[in-house]
Structure formats: structure tokens, C-alpha cells
């Protein structure tokens, strides 16, 4: 490692004041601190020792938590493909096929995102921060399996610039950056990110008879429109290809069409276990998010006027991106509510809104994205009232 | 009413190098220093002596033009060898070369029964004259108390929960009589209670056992349970307009001695601790001792940082520097100015962290940690929420308070509780902060904004 350190040392003068790449000092420093934890020591006054954890560590933990979902996503993309075209394929075939689809998305999202980030760091001369480690992965995981790569690139640039850098960079953003990317695509290129055709890649092959490519949610939505019981519709769908494609178990395990990382609730819960176990994500948001979804599902059942509303409440938990959104998006510490009691309300409302948007939005049967974004905007308001309550307590006990 | 407060929030930092409960015969310190910088809020220190003067223990050598009544006295007798100034002639240190045998200024002596009849004015006058007044710290703001004011109550934290902190049972051994006398004096200074807060988890040390005239409260839980700020918060929080005083038990003893023996006895036990010292033990010396005789020759390694005080709130001093006025504690830990290859990502159980993100398995490491001064990361904006709240056992929203201070929002600072805290209360927040912000400095800046506005 000495050699690498020497290399950095050798390059250093070029980046320092007066050096020929002076402007790029932040890039030099950024890369050096990735390779080596820096040699900064504590100040003469104040805490003389510091906790061994830093932001990089926190961020990489989130990335690790997403790996099960990513791996399953890679497999599932291949699995869905071969299912749709009606071909037999080995596990390895499925994984390889999936990797060919997913890995480029991942590379584009990271490469373009980091490039944008670096550009801003150089222009503003602020340190490279590690926030994009997580964002890059998140963006890839919320994309449909076969999204044009230029759209991924465009969405990433939009998210980093408009979602984050205009607010001052990592830690200052109001909206979840990855969801900003997805929302951008949803509104700018609706054809490529909604409807039935984008969730399974057919390639140059034709689908088997009866294949629709619909996500579980859109099946449920259609059922709601036509007045057929959702569970029956999902079951009927099953018979078209293979058996029980949309069974509850399948939806929980993730063998269904959907965005790359969002289909497997099991894998997401594995990630949640890592996040909660390490204390990186707030368990309060996760618990209250799921609770809110379920409770609003029950309320919808009680007032059901169509079959979608009458869908069993627990189905909401495994369909679409609810689990992914709650575990990885809602818990983003920057855009979420930051007070401990605020977090309960924040998660609960995300759950509520998700189901409300799902069952009442006539155009698009998924609500988690908009629910999280909306609550991102309201999080400071929730915190404001929590802080106000604290001040009030403080004032009340005053005797003068 | 005695109170038992159980605190759940906080974090005990287990460091290697706890002092053995014995007094080690280190070479005695030659020089002693009073550092005006130890007295937070001292504005315009004025020196009363010249280089070359000889002083006795208790001779006034310094006062603050802002608070002229309070005299700061020499801890030992000897010759003033240097008055060290820094930039803009800022007064840094007044060094005294100590006599072999300490001689004392004499003050009025009182018997136990005299103490009872002593008036508040007489007590205050003697304390000011005898140089023990700086032991009294005022809250809010954590500055030396103003003798013209009257506090609502006086608080004494009877234990120190900081990492490697000295055991007050050792520090106060045999001082029971003086401690009681000090309490009797303090009682005169307030119309309210004198609170003595003890650790519920350990047995009551003899110095506190039979103390009369105090309200005893017990606290249970991890650090910062021993912080007097936390204790006040749970007994009777400080609101705007309130004034309370705090005294360290050592200060109480010193006050007691001034009245019973009529001298300023600045002798104290200092705990020499930390992973880098060979002999971690207590040493008998005086306030402001030069540490070189305790540190040099007692080191396991060369590249170390010597800290006056504990690792959370202490101050870096040179290896021939001087112990701070309020400190009974020296910690020596390795200096951490090295780069670690992929240090931020490697799984490990050997690093100390409050967060479980650093190796889910760090709970396996039950032992004591050897921690250096590396920050383990660079400064970042506040990104992770909720960590400060886990280590601050007060009804305060630290993140919002820090943000209010940074944005210099006076109303918010007041309303969010800046009157209740000083640096030491947020030291743990500063330790656990993954964004590596200097929160103690932020808090002091906030206090100064409030004080001088």
C-alpha cells in the first residue's frame, strides 16, 4: 500500500495551490480518501477521540443492504424473460441474461451520476461526498428492466442537479434524489416507464399466447375497473403462463414482473434487517410505513366501492414497490422527518398515501413514489410541529 | 425529596488504561502554572505580580477586569518564573517555580461551630480573598460565578462518568471533614437547595456518607449520567432567567479547607491514565502541575497525545505542559495521524464505535479499546439523523439546536435549550457524529452569542 500512498504523494503537488491541476484538488482528495481513511486528527480542544464510523461507512452499509435485492433483480429479469417467451432456461442462463440487462443500467447510473457530482465538486470546490454511492444503486433498482440507457443517464443528471446540487449537495436536499430520477422519467417519458410493455424484456422473440406483461398492480387495477374480484383476476392470470405467477407467495418472493429491485419483498426485508440491525435506517419509519399501508388497506376494504378497493389489505404490502419504497426510499435520513416522533407520523402517512394514490389514481396504479415524494415535502412541516412541541414543553415549565 | 433518576441514553466508552487505585511516587513536578485560558469567559485577565516575584500558596496573582472581585491565587509557593503571552499579548500562562516546602498565606480560621454563625457576606469575602471562588461555576453558560448574584440552587455531581475518569472515592479519601465544611459554606450562598448527585450503581463513598445539609439525588445509567448539566435537567431544569451554580467535589473540599485550616490548599490527586502510559495510577500534586515528570519516562510509545482532562472534553497539552485548573486527570493516547488503507470499509471488531454500522460484530469485542486521535473521516453536513438523540439524555433536540446556533438564530437557540447545556454535555454527540462536526465549539459559539448580545 506504500506504493499507492507514494503515488498519491507524488501527484499531490500538481493539485495543490499553484499546481497545474489546482482546480481539481477536490477530485484528488476524494480519491485519496476512498483509498485511505484520511490522517486527520482531532483538534486541540473538544473531543480528542472520534467514533470510528463515518459517512462513507454509513453509505456503504446501505449499498450492502441493497445487494440481495440487486442480485435477485438480476436473476428475475432473466427469469421473466424466459417465462414470457416460453423457453426453458437454466439458472445460469437466466442470471446471465438478467445481468446483461441490469449491469449496463447500473454502470450508466453510477458513471453519469458520479460525473455530474464531480463536475459540481470541481466547480464549487467542495469535497466529494459519498451520498451518490447509495443514490446510484437506488436509481438502477427502481428502473424497469429494459429502460433505454440514455433515459437513465438523463434522469440521473436531472436528479443530481435538480434534486440535490441546487440545494447545496449531499445532506441539503429536500427530495429523495433517486425518486427524483424516477419521477422525472415518469413524467417525461411515461411510455417507457408505465403500461404493461416495459416490465418484461422480450428482445427479438415473441411472447407466448396469453402473455400480457402486466405487473400485479395493473392486473388488480384492471380487475377493479371491470368489477372482477382482484384475487380471482390474479389467479386467472396465473393460468396463462406457468402456474400461480401472481400468487401471494410469488409476489412475496418476487417472481413477478416489476422494476429491477422492487419485486422481491423477501430480499428487501433482508436488506431492511441489515439497515435496522446496523442502526443506519430508522426502524420507526419502516414499521410505521408498513403499518400505514396495511391500515389504509383495511380502511379501503371497509369503504370499498370497487374490487380494487376490496383487495385484501395484505396484498398491498407485497405488490408493486411498497416494500422497496418504505425500506430504501422513505428511510433516507436527509429527506425524511428527522425528529424521532416525527418519524412515526412520516412513515404512517407514506403508507396511507401510497394506498390512497394506488386505488384512486385513474391513470397509474402505483402510489409509493408519489407518496414518498409528497411526504419528503411535508417532512419539514412534521418536524416543525415536533420541535414546536418541544419548545412549548420548555416554556411551560418556566416559572418566570 | 431524594430522587432516583434512571437514564437509558448515553454511551460508556471503554478505554484501556484505567488508573489503579493507588498513589504512585512519581518525581514531583517542579513548576506549576495558572492558565487564564482554563477559565471560560475570562475577558481581560490582569496580572498582579511580576516575573521574579515570590508568592505563597494563596497569593492573588490574577483577576479578570470583567469580574474584579474574583481573585485567582497561586496554587503553590515559589518564584514567578515566566508570564507567557501569545499573539496580541494574550495571556497564556503564569508559571511558578515551586519551593521545596510549600508555605501558605494565612486566612481566618473557623471552627465547626463558627461556621454555623458565619454570615453569607463573610463567607463570600473569605472565599474571594482565599482564591477558591473560581471553583464555583455558573449555569447557564458555564463560566465562573458572579459573587454578587444569588443562585436558585447549587449542584454538585458526586461522580465522574467520563472515560477513564478518576474515582472520587480516591480523590476525596480522608477529606470528609472538609467536604462537610464546604457544604456548610455553600449552603449560605443560596436560598435554595444544595444538591449532591451520586451514582446509584456504586456504593456511596465515605466522603459523602454522612453529609448534612444536602439534597441527595441518585443517577443511574451510562455516561453522561455524571454530567452535572444532565443532572440539573432531571432535577430542576434551567429556564431563561434562572441561575444555578455548580461545584466539583474537589472544589467543595478546597472551600472547606480554606475555612477550617485558613489556607488555600491546592494539593490534589491527579489520575494518570490512558493506553500509552506504563504506570496508570494517581499522583499527589498541586493544581496546575507540570506533567512532564508524570509522563516522560512513563510512556509505552513515543507518538502520543497528552490530554489534560478526559478524552471527550479535555484539551491537548504538550508532554511538558500543565494540567488544567479544573482537571484531576491526564490521558495519554496514541496520535492518529496515519492513513489507513480502505479504513472506512474494512470489517473490524477492534475499532470503537457507538454505531453498529461498523462491523455488526463489534459487540464481540467486550474488552477495552485503544483509541487514537484519528477522526476516522472528514467533516460533512448533518446527514444521519437520530444519533445525537441517542446519547443525550435530555429533552432537547440537539440537531435542531446545533442548526439554530450555526444559523445564529437567537430565539431558536434559547427556545431549544441552550441555557441548559455547555460543551461537556454535547461531547458525546461530538464523539458519535458520523459527519465529524465540532459540536462543542458550535455550542460555545452559541453561548457566546447569547452572553454578549
pLDDT above 70: percentage of residues in chain A: 95
- Asked if the peptide bond before residue B140 counts as cis, ω within 30 degrees of 0, the response is yes
pLDDT at res. B6: 92
pLDDT band at B276 (very low <50, low <70, confident <90, very high): very high
Least confident of A60-74, A233-247, A250-264, B314-328: A233-247
- In chain A, residues 131-190 whose CB comes closer than 8 Å to chain B: 131, 168-172
pLDDT of residue B364: 65
Question: Measured between CB atoms, does A115 come within 8 Å of chain B?
Answer: no
Chain A residues 274-333 with a CB less than 8 Å from chain B: 277-280, 282, 333
The mean pLDDT value for B34-38 works out to 92
pLDDT at residue number B207: 82
Q: What is the dihedral of CA A93, A94, A98, A103, to 10 degrees?
A: -50
- Position A399 scores a pLDDT of 53
Is the predicted pLDDT of residue B367 greater than 90, yes or no? no
Cβ burial, residue A279 (10 Å; 0-12/13-18/19+): buried
In Å, how far is B51's CA from the nearest CA of chain A? 28
Please tell me whether the peptide bond between B304 and the residue prior to it is cis, using omega within 30 degrees of 0.
no
Are the beta carbons of A322 and A372 closer than 8 angstroms? Answer: no
Q: Among B386, B401, B409, which would you mutate to test the A interface (most chain A Cβ atoms within 10 Å of its Cβ)? A: B386
Mutate one of A7, A8, A49 to test the B interface: name it (highest B CB count within 10 A). Answer: A49
**Could you give the CA distance from residue B304 to residue A353 in angstroms, rounded to a whole number?**
56
Confidence of residue B25 (pLDDT cuts 50, 70, 90): confident
B374/A399 CB distance under 8 A: no
pLDDT, position A239? 47
pLDDT in tens, A105-120: 999 999 999 999 889 8
pLDDT at B247: 95
Q: Which of residues 17-36 of A touch B (CB under 8 A)?
A: 33-36
Q: Quick one: closest CA in B to A45, which residue?
A: B315
pTM of the predicted model, to two decimals?
0.90
Are A399 and B239 in contact (CB < 8 Å)? Answer: yes
Alpha helices by DSSP H, listed for A190-337, are 190-193, 216-226, 230-240, 248-253, 265-277, 283-302, 313-318, 322-324
Select the more confidently predicted residue: A243 or A268: A268
Residue of B nearest to A400 (CA): B241
N- to C-terminal Cα separation, chain A: 63
Q: Which three cell numbers stand for residue A214?
A: 402486466
Contact between chains at B381 and A56 (C-beta distance less than 8 A): no
**C-alpha grid cell for residue B189?**
450562598
Alpha-carbon torsion angle A133, B350, A269, A338, nearest 10: -60
Beta-carbon separation of A52 and B305 below 8 A: no
Mean pLDDT of chain A: 86
Is A363 near chain B, with CB under 8 Å? no
Contacts of B13 in chain A (CB under 8 A): 49
Strand ordering across the sheet containing B315-317 = B281-286, B267-273, B329-334, B304-308, B315-317
The residues, ordered by sequence, that sit 6+ positions from A3 with a Cβ below 8 Å of its Cβ are: none
Encode pLDDT of A311-332 as tens digits.
888 989 998 889 999 999 999 9
Sole residue written with cell 444559523 = B407
List B220's β-bridge partners, or say none.
Answer: B6
Across B152-309, where does the E strand assignment appear?
153-157, 194-199, 215-220, 244-247, 267-273, 281-286, 304-308
Residue B249: C-alpha distances to residues A4, B205, B252 (Å): 53, 12, 5
Contacts of A136 (CB under 8 A, 6+ apart): A106, A109, A110, A113, A114, A156
Residues above pLDDT 90, as percent of chain B: 68
Residue A263 has pLDDT above 60, yes or no: yes
Q: What is the pLDDT of residue A215?
A: 81
pLDDT at A400: 46
The span from the CA of A308 to the CA of A302, in Å, is: 12
In Å, how far are A64, A264, A273 from A267, measured between CA atoms? 12, 5, 10
Question: Does ipTM surpass 0.85 in this model?
Answer: yes
Q: Per-residue pLDDT tens for A274-305?
A: 999 888 899 999 999 999 999 999 999 998 88
Tell me if B352 and A52 make a contact (CB, 8 A cut-off): yes
pLDDT digits (tens, 9 = 90+) for B79-121: 999 999 999 889 999 999 999 899 999 999 998 888 888 999 9
pLDDT in tens, A218-251: 878 877 778 778 877 777 765 445 566 788 888 8
pLDDT at residue number B360 = 52
pLDDT value for B356: 75
- The predicted-structure confidence for A351-396, as pLDDT tens digits, reads as follows 999 999 988 887 777 889 999 999 999 999 999 999 999 999 888 8
Amino acid at each position: 500500500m506504500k506504493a499507492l500512498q507514494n503515488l498519491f504523494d507524488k501527484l499531490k503537488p500538481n493539485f495543490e495551490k499553484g499546481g497545474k491541476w489546482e482546480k481539481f484538488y477536490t477530485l484528488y482528495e476524494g480519491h485519496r480518501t476512498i483509498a485511505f481513511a484520511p490522517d486527520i486528527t482531532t483538534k486541540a480542544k473538544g473531543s480528542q477521540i472520534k467514533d470510528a464510523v463515518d459517512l462513507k461507512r454509513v453509505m456503504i452499509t446501505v449499498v450492502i443492504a441493497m445487494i440481495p435485492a440487486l442480485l435477485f433483480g438480476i436473476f428475475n429479469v432473466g427469469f421473466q424473460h424466459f417465462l414470457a417467451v416460453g423457453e426453458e432456461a437454466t439458472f445460469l442462463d437466466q442470471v446471465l441474461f438478467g445481468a446483461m440487462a441490469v449491469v449496463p443500467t447500473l454502470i450508466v447510473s453510477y458513471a453519469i451520476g458520479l460525473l455530474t457530482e464531480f463536475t459540481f465538486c470541481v466547480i464549487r470546490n467542495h469535497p466529494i461526498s459519498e451520498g451518490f454511492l447509495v443514490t446510484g444503486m437506488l436509481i438502477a433498482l427502481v428502473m424497469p428492466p429494459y429502460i433505454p440507457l440514455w433515459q437513465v443517464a438523463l434522469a440521473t443528471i436531472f436528479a443530481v442537479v435538480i434534486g440535490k446540487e441546487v440545494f447545496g449537495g449531499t445532506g441539503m436536499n429536500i427530495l429523495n434524489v433517486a425518486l427524483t430520477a424516477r419521477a422525472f422519467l415518469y413524467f417525461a417519458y411515461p411510455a417507457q416507464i408505465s403500461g404493461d410493455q416495459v416490465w418484461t424484456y422480450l428482445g427479438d422473440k415473441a411472447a407466448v399466447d396469453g402473455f400480457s406483461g402486466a405487473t400485479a398492480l395493473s392486473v388488480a387495477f384492471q380487475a377493479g375497473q371491470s368489477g372482477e374480484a382482484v384475487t380471482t383476476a390474479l389467479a386467472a392470470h396465473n393460468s396463462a403462463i406457468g402456474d400461480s405467477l401472481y400468487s401471494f407467495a410469488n409476489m412475496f418472493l418476487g417472481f413477478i414482473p416489476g422494476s429491477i429491485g422492487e419485486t422481491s419483498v423477501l430480499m428487501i426485508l433482508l436488506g431492511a434487517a441489515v439497515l435496522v440491525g446496523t442502526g443506519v435506517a430508522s426502524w420507526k419509519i419502516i414499521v410505521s410505513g408498513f403499518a400505514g399501508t396495511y391500515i389504509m388497506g383495511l380502511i379501503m376494504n371497509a369503504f370499498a366501492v370497487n374490487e380494487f378497493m376490496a383487495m385484501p389489505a395484505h396484498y398491498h404490502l407485497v405488490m408493486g414497490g411498497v416494500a422497496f419504497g418504505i425500506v430504501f426510499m422513505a428511510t433516507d435520513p436527509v429527506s425524511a422527518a428527522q425528529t424521532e416522533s416525527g418519524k412515526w407520523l412520516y412513515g404512517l402517512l407514506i403508507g396511507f398515501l401510497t394506498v390512497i394514490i394506488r386505488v384512486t389514481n385513474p391513470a397509474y396504479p402505483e402510489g409509493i413514489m408519489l407518496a414518498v415524494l409528497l411526504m419528503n415535502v411535508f417532512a419539514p412541516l412534521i418536524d416543525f410541529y415536533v420541535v414546536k412541541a418541544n419548545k412549548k414543553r420548555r416554556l411551560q415549565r418556566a416559572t418566570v | 425529596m431524594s430522587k432516583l433518576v434512571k437514564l437509558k441514553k448515553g454511551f460508556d466508552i471503554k478505554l484501556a488504561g484505567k488508573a489503579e487505585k493507588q498513589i504512585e511516587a512519581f518525581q514531583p513536578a517542579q513548576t506549576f502554572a495558572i492558565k487564564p485560558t482554563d477559565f471560560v469567559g475570562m475577558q481581560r485577565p490582569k496580572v498582579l505580580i511580576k516575573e521574579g516575584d515570590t508568592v505563597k500558596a494563596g497569593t492573588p496573582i490574577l483577576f479578570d477586569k470583567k469580574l474584579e472581585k474574583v481573585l485567582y491565587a497561586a496554587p503553590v509557593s515559589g518564584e514567578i518564573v515566566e508570564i507567557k503571552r501569545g499573539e496580541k499579548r494574550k495571556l497564556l500562562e503564569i508559571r511558578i517555580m515551586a519551593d521545596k516546602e510549600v508555605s501558605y498565606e494565612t486566612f481566618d480560621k473557623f471552627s465547626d461551630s463558627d461556621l454555623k454563625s458565619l454570615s453569607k457576606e463573610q463567607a463570600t469575602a473569605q472565599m474571594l480573598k482565599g482564591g477558591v471562588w473560581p471553583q464555583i461555576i455558573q449555569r447557564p453558560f458555564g463560566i465562573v460565578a458572579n459573587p454578587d448574584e444569588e443562585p436558585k440552587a447549587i449542584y454538585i455531581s458526586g461522580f465522574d462518568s467520563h472515560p477513564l475518569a478518576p474515582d472520587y472515592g480516591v480523590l476525596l479519601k480522608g477529606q470528609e471533614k472538609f467536604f462537610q465544611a464546604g457544604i456548610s459554606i455553600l449552603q449560605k450562598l443560596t436560598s435554595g437547595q444544595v444538591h449532591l448527585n451520586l451514582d446509584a450503581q456504586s456504593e456511596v463513598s465515605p466522603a459523602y456518607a454522612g453529609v448534612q445539609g444536602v439534597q441527595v439525588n441518585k443517577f443511574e445509567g451510562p455516561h453522561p449520567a455524571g454530567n452535572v448539566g444532565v443532572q440539573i435537567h432531571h432535577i430542576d431544569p434551567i429556564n431563561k432567567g434562572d441561575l444555578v451554580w455548580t461545584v466539583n467535589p474537589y472544589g467543595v473540599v478546597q472551600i472547606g479547607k480554606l475555612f477550617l485550616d485558613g489556607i488555600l490548599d491546592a494539593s490534589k490527586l491527579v489520575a494518570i491514565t490512558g493506553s500509552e502510559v506504563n504506570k496508570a495510577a494517581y499522583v499527589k500534586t498541586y493544581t496546575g502541575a507540570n506533567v512532564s515528570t508524570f509522563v516522560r519516562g512513563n510512556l509505552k510509545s513515543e507518538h502520543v497525545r497528552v490530554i489534560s482532562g478526559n478524552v471527550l472534553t479535555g484539551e491537548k497539552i504538550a508532554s511538558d505542559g500543565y494540567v488544567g485548573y479544573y482537571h484531576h486527570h491526564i490521558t495519554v493516547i496514541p496520535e492518529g495521524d496515519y492513513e489507513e488503507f480502505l479504513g472506512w470499509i474494512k470489517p473490524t471488531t477492534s475499532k470503537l464505535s457507538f454505531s453498529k454500522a461498523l462491523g455488526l460484530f463489534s459487540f464481540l469485542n467486550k474488552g477495552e479499546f485503544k483509541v487514537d486521535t484519528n477522526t476516522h473521516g472528514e467533516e460533512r453536513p448533518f446527514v444521519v439523523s437520530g444519533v445525537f438523540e441517542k446519547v443525550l439524555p435530555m429533552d432537547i433536540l440537539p440537531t435542531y439546536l446545533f442548526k439554530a446556533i450555526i444559523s445564529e438564530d437567537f430565539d431558536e437557540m434559547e427556545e431549544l435549550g441552550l441555557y441548559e447545556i455547555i460543551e461537556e454535555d454535547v461531547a458525546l454527540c461530538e464523539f458519535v457524529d458520523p459527519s465529524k462536526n465540532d459540536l462543542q465549539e458550535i455550542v460555545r459559539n452559541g453561548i457566546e452569542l447569547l452572553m454578549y448580545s
